Chain A
Amino acid sequence: AQSVSQHNHHVILSEAASLELGCNYSYGGTVNLFWYVQYPGQHLQLLLKYFSGDPLVKGIKGFEAEFIKSKFSFNLRKPSVQWSDTAEYFCAFGGSQGNLIFGKGTKLSVKP
């Protein structure tokens, strides 16, 4: 079955620290991968997406993610986090039904 795993439930960082959130998916075919972010009190927003081509994808607000096919991974990174990055981050996989299959999410808390 298609599934997405996010390794960290809650990550706490200080401002300016580097961030890497893990995401692994299980599916052997063509993949469409996404990272969504949910800021406190707001709705889910697309951060970045990968469909094909360059495996290093750049998104909004300085985020990037790298698709590594051999590892079935799509980890999210940011070199220097800000307090405003405090949010919940969801990795998602484009399912065969046209739906998105989400991981359980990672809460990021950035201390000022």
Chain B
Amino acid sequence: DTGVSQDPRHKITKRGQNVTFRCDPISEHNRLYWYRQTLGQGPEFLTYFQNEAQLEKSRLLSDRFSAERPKGSFSTLEIQRTEQGDSAMYLCASSLDGGLHEQYFGPGTRLTVT
């Protein structure tokens, strides 16, 4: 399978714990995006990378969130001191550089904070 993959698919954590998610984009894609989706809503943009550079961050991305893409390939999204409001599906997408926004999505990581 050469699509976008995400790991883990499900994560249950207690409030206050740190969690880290991983995204592996389609190999030739330079752009990588993170979105968050809550029940009854469409995906909401969090941040994106062009190769290893993080170019944009949404105001939804609080100081407890950090994302990296160290070698311009896979990316990680870490949430520190999780809160119940962080419970959501975290989606990763990738696209070709200059691909006029056509993005390919992974299956998502469902986070439940208890």
Q: Which residues of A contact B (CB under 8 A)?
A: 4, 32, 34, 36, 42-46, 49, 51, 90, 92, 94-95, 97-105
**CB-CB under 8 A for A98 and B91, given A43-B108, A44-B43, A90-B42:** no
Given contacts A98-B31, A98-B48, 7 further A-B contacts (CB under 8 A): A92-B42, A95-B45, A97-B45, A97-B56, A100-B43, A101-B45, A102-B44
**B48, B93, B103, B107: which has the most chain A beta carbons within 10 Å?**
B103
**B4, B100, B101: which has the most chain A beta carbons within 10 Å?**
B101
**CB-CB under 8 A for A102 and B42, given A32-B100, A43-B108, A44-B91:** yes
**CB-CB under 8 A for A103 and B42, given A98-B31, A98-B48:** yes
Quick check: A99 and B42 within 8 Å, CB to CB?
A: no
Residue of B nearest to A32 (CB): B101
A42 to B91, CA, bound (A): 12
Closest approach, in angstroms, between the C-beta of A33 and any C-beta of chain B? 10
Q: How many A-B residue pairs have CB under 8 A?
A: 63
| CB-defined contacts of B100 to chain A, threshold 8 Å | 32, 51, 94
Q: Which residues of B contact A (CB under 8 A)?
A: 4, 31, 33, 35, 40-45, 48, 55-56, 58, 91, 93, 100-108
Q: 6 closest pairs, A vs B, by CB? A: A102-B42, A99-B45, A94-B101, A44-B105, A97-B56, A43-B107
Quick check: A105 and B42 within 8 Å, CB to CB?
A: yes
Residue of B nearest to A49 (CB): B102
**A43, A46, A94, A103: which has the most chain B beta carbons within 10 Å?**
A43
| CB-defined contacts of B35 to chain A, threshold 8 Å | 99-100
| CB-defined contacts of B48 to chain A, threshold 8 Å | 97-99
